[in-house]
Amino acid sequence: MNGHGFIAVHCGAGYHSDSLKKEYQKTCYIACRKAAEILKNGGNAVEAVEKAIIELENSPLTNAGYGSNLSWDGLVECDASIMNGQTLHFGACGAVSNVWNPISLAKHLCIKQCDNLSLGRVPPCILTGQGARLWAERMGIEIVENRKMISARSFRNYKHCKRKLKRYSLQNDIKFSPLDTVGAICVDSNGIVASGASSGGVSLKHEGRVGQAASFGSGVWAVMSRDRKKPSVAACTSGCGEHLIRTQLAKNTAESLLEASPILGLDKCFKEHFLESPFLWDVPERLGGTLALRFDSEIGEGELLWGHTTKTMCIGYMSTENERPKCIISYLPPKVEPGQKAVVSGQPFKVPIQPCPVLQWEIKTTANCNGSL
Amino acid sequence: MNGHGFIAVHCGAGYHSDSLKKEYQKTCYIACRKAAEILKNGGNAVEAVEKAIIELENSPLTNAGYGSNLSWDGLVECDASIMNGQTLHFGACGAVSNVWNPISLAKHLCIKQCDNLSLGRVPPCILTGQGARLWAERMGIEIVENRKMISARSFRNYKHCKRKLKRYSLQNDIKFSPLDTVGAICVDSNGIVASGASSGGVSLKHEGRVGQAASFGSGVWAVMSRDRKKPSVAACTSGCGEHLIRTQLAKNTAESLLEASPILGLDKCFKEHFLESPFLWDVPERLGGTLALRFDSEIGEGELLWGHTTKTMCIGYMSTENERPKCIISYLPPKVEPGQKAVVSGQPFKVPIQPCPVLQWEIKTTANCNGSL
């Protein structure tokens, strides 16, 4: 096989300590490499996004899958979602336990959107809690004992938070809520875009809480140009789940890249739809980040963009044409207070395109329509 | 007290059988009356919406609360949400069992958005499954045995569907998925708008499935004008949950009413954002309905609008100035196939306004900011 594509990942917008910087970058590096392999072997954008996020989930450093923040009762409950820009299907699981890779469950839900069920029933796009776990089990997705998903680091953090809470029950210290939701966006050989996100949620969250990584329009967005007149766009977000839900940052980010200058579009989006959003009128610190791309399938060229109002954001990206991924930590300028301003950057990229002769999403089909053309 | 306001409710866009028509209208009638009482006694829009939906949930006719469709395993799992147009806060519960009135749980979550939690934690806006039930229990919301939520009608329907399924395992018969999510929208004395929705979900749904009634932007929307230059809008939807999530029909509906002519805006919205939406490219029958309002608080005048692509939609509405609610069943024109075209209608209404001197959502406050000024 000789597939092409571009993959970008992030392991959170938040605060990455200097001592762990290299580890975070390495995690992004491996995720990019694994996803690029999938693309080179002819895998599609959805599969590459899944693979990248599996690597991020498996790392004990990130707040996703293994090593997720623990809930109030000391449990791991994960959110994850995936959106296919070609079919516009969305699959998400929320507050799910025991599933080793929540992103695989989200992918399955996304793919199954094409199925015809008996009695006119529609396949679910969002499954939560125990029902989500049962569905995963039936689909043959790996199920583990929940305590196996707790890393030493997340357990230490949990104990620390609980102790703090006991001592200063009204203290407000945002540092105890690491905002390291992970995400990935991708363009494949056929110019199909996809986006995925996975999160362990906020530390000490209430059982059953669902965050942006399982909410439509908030954690992920991916729309492929229907007529090739507009570019395709994809985005994934990180930050405080409730605030990202209210501002639907993924959708707004992706749409902002359709403006003449995507970087100016993204800057404006952060200002209007996040920092000055009426939906965050009562939020003193607006903490969020986004990783996004815009791709023109006519010429096989695109732009990767990222922006965040948090202290740092750790991202990695590579095209299948590159030998190795580039992994960086993006910083807010030194004098800027987190939550008050956004820093926005971008990079161009290329993908040799093998355009699909017919965009399958223009015709109703019972076949697997998740990008395998 | 001498409060004013306007309330509108619906008990579903779907197919209301002739034999039960009067019963459906009566249910809407009572819901409007109860909500109007709340408004007259000085209650705010959120409280009135909650009260109206409690009445609709308590009816065994509707697919919400008591009498909800049963899941594949014969359980009742409800979705509900509420949005406060003044604070822009949203509270939702998904796939929740044992809670007699899911809308009350959603309201509590919406109100609690104002709380400051220790360690910078943010109050959850969406809770699902067992966690949602536990939260309800702690808040003193009525908890019942789950079998008490199963009505004779919903149990008969469940048995019928299961039998059908056994006999014709691949049959597609949309009639077995009654789309009777309920909803309510309201304007109160202060010109505050709110919207709520409640649903038992589709028949034979998978455990843990979350539909539009618990998804931000899809089941409810309410935005109060910030500067009084634009009108306030509110909307709630009914139909196939997954399709309403993908099209974010509540948000799109409400925003369409900001056009010069709200009725033309709503008509265009149904065409562009639902019937011809790229998000429903693979859906042969696009079944949905929406109840919406636009209100100009400068002059105390507004318009109620509704539209649906389903055979029927049953709605009721009244102003506190009216003696009794008007309850009607809206029909698609006889020759129009359901799911292919929308019928859109409207009615003007008035509310004597006592404008709030300061819109509380423009200032950060720790006080209860859910409309009680």
Residue A372 lies in a domain: no
pLDDT tens string A17-76: 888 899 999 999 999 999 999 999 999 999 999 999 999 999 999 999 999 999 999 999
Give the per-residue pLDDT at B20: 86
pLDDT tens string A212-239: 999 999 999 999 987 778 999 999 999 9
How many beta-carbon contacts under 8 Å exist across A and B?
214
Chain B, nearest residue to A277 by Cα: B88
pLDDT tens string A164-190: 776 654 444 445 445 678 999 999 999
How far does the CA of residue B363 sit from the closest CA of chain A (Å)? 7
Reading the block at residue B249, the tokens are 């029909």
Mean pLDDT score, B197-208 = 94
User: Has residue A364 got a pLDDT over 60?
Assistant: no
- CB contact under 8 Å between B242 and A123, yes or no, is yes
Burial class (CB in 10 A: 0-12, 13-18, 19+), B260: exposed
Q: How far apart are CA B220 and CA B211, in angstroms?
A: 12
Mean pLDDT score, B123-148 = 96
Q: What amino acid positions of A are annotated as catalytic residues?
A: 181
What is the bridge-based pairing of β-strands A78-84 and A326-331?
Answer: unpaired
Chain A, nearest residue to B118 by Cα: A170
Q: How confident is the model at residue A356 (pLDDT cuts 50, 70, 90)?
A: low
Give the per-residue pLDDT at A164: 77
Give the per-residue pLDDT at B373: 29
pLDDT tens string A237-257: 999 999 999 999 999 999 999
- CB contact under 8 Å between B135 and A206, yes or no, is yes
Q: How confident is the model at residue B344 (pLDDT cuts 50, 70, 90)?
A: very high
Please identify which residue in the block is written with the tokens 């109160």: B188
Residue B18 lies in a domain: yes
Q: How far apart are CA B159 and CA A1, in angstroms?
A: 51
Domain containing residue B291: 5-362
- CB contact under 8 Å between B123 and A242, yes or no, is yes
User: Has residue B108 got a pLDDT over 80?
Assistant: yes
- CB contact under 8 Å between B118 and A246, yes or no, is no
- CB contact under 8 Å between B203 and A121, yes or no, is yes
What are the C-alpha distances in Å from A94 to residues A184, A302, A354? 18, 32, 35
CATH number for the domain spanning B328: value is 3.60.20.30
User: Has residue B240 got a pLDDT over 80?
Assistant: yes
Contact call for residues B308 and B4 (beta carbons, < 8 A): no
Residue A371 lies in a domain: no
Burial class (CB in 10 A: 0-12, 13-18, 19+), A58: middle
Dihedral angle computed from the Cα positions of residues B154, B288, A232 and A368, in that order, rounded to the nearest 10 degrees: 50
Domain count, chain A: 1
Q: How confident is the model at residue B76 (pLDDT cuts 50, 70, 90)?
A: very high
Q: How far apart are CA A267 and CA A293, in angstroms?
A: 14
pLDDT tens string A311-340: 999 999 999 999 999 999 999 999 999 999
User: Has residue A369 got a pLDDT over 90?
Assistant: no
Residue A367 lies in a domain: no
Of B255, B217, B132, B108, give the one whose Cα is nearest residue A246. B217
How far does the CA of residue A137 sit from the closest CA of chain B (Å)? 13
Residue B370 lies in a domain: no
Chain A hits for B282, Cβ within 8 Å: 87, 114, 361, 364-365, 369
Crossing angle of helices A102-112 and A129-138, rounded to 10°: 80
Q: How far apart are CA B195 and CA B235, in angstroms?
A: 6
Give the per-residue pLDDT at B364: 41
Percent of chain B scored above 70 by pLDDT?
91
Furthest-apart CA atoms within chain B: distance in Å = 64
Residue B57 lies in a domain: yes
Q: How confident is the model at residue B114 (pLDDT cuts 50, 70, 90)?
A: confident
pLDDT tens string B270-298: 999 999 999 999 998 899 999 999 999 88
User: Has residue B167 got a pLDDT over 80?
Assistant: no
Q: How far apart are CA B370 and CA B123, in angstroms?
A: 14
Concatenate the DSSP letters of all residues of B242-269 into one string.
HHHHHHTHHHHHHHHTTSSSHHHHHHHH
Residue B372 lies in a domain: no
Contact call for residues B123 and B117 (beta carbons, < 8 A): yes
pLDDT tens string A294-304: 999 889 999 99
pLDDT tens string A86-143: 999 999 999 999 999 999 999 999 999 988 777 778 899 999 999 999 999 999 999 9
Chain B hits for A211, Cβ within 8 Å: 126
What are the C-alpha distances in Å from A188 to residues A191, A196, A251, A320, A353? 5, 14, 20, 10, 8
Q: How far apart are CA A280 and CA A244, in angstroms?
A: 10
Residue B371 lies in a domain: no
Burial class (CB in 10 A: 0-12, 13-18, 19+), B243: buried
Dihedral angle computed from the Cα positions of residues A112, A113, A117 and A123, in that order, rounded to the nearest 10 degrees: 100
For residue B265, the number of C-alpha atoms closer than 13 Å in the C-beta half-sphere is: 20
Give the per-residue pLDDT at B30: 98
Cα A333-B121-A126 angle, rounded to 5 deg: 100
Q: Which range, of A270-279, B157-166, B211-220, averages the lowest pLDDT?
A: B157-166
Q: How confident is the model at residue B369 (pLDDT cuts 50, 70, 90)?
A: very low
Preferred mutation among A242, A282, A283, A365 to probe B, highest tally of B CBs within 10 A:
A282
What is the bridge-based pairing of β-strands B78-84 and B5-14?
Answer: unpaired
What are the C-alpha distances in Å from B234 to residues A19, B83, B110, B291, B336? 49, 9, 16, 8, 28
How far does the CA of residue A183 sit from the closest CA of chain B (Å)? 21
How far does the CA of residue B326 sit from the closest CA of chain A (Å)? 34
Q: What 3 state SS string does chain A have?
A: CCCCEEEEEEEEEECCCHHHHHHHHHHHHHHHHHHHHHHHCCCCHHHHHHHHHHHHHHCCCCCCCCCCCCCCCCCCCEEEEEEECCCCCEEEEEEECCECCHHHHHHHHHHHCCCCCHHHCCCCCEEEHHHHHHHHHHCCCCECCHHHHCCHHHHHHHHHHHHHHHHCCCCCCHHHCCCCCEEEEEEECCCCEEEEEEECCCCCCCCCECCHHHCCCCCEEEECCCCCCCCEEEEEEEECHHHHHHHCHHHHHHHHCCCCCHHHHHHHHHHHHHHCCHHHCCCCCCCEEEEEEEEECCCCEEEEEEEECCCEEEEEEEECCCCCCEEEEEECCCCCCCCCCCEEEEEEEECCCCCCCCCHHHCCCCCCCCCCC
Please identify which residue in the block is written with the tokens 């079998």: B147
User: Has residue A371 got a pLDDT over 60?
Assistant: no
Enumerate residues 6+ apart whose C-beta is below 8 A from A372. A44
**Pick from A120, A164, A215: CB nearest B176:** A120
How far from chain centre, in Å, is Cα B338? Answer: 21
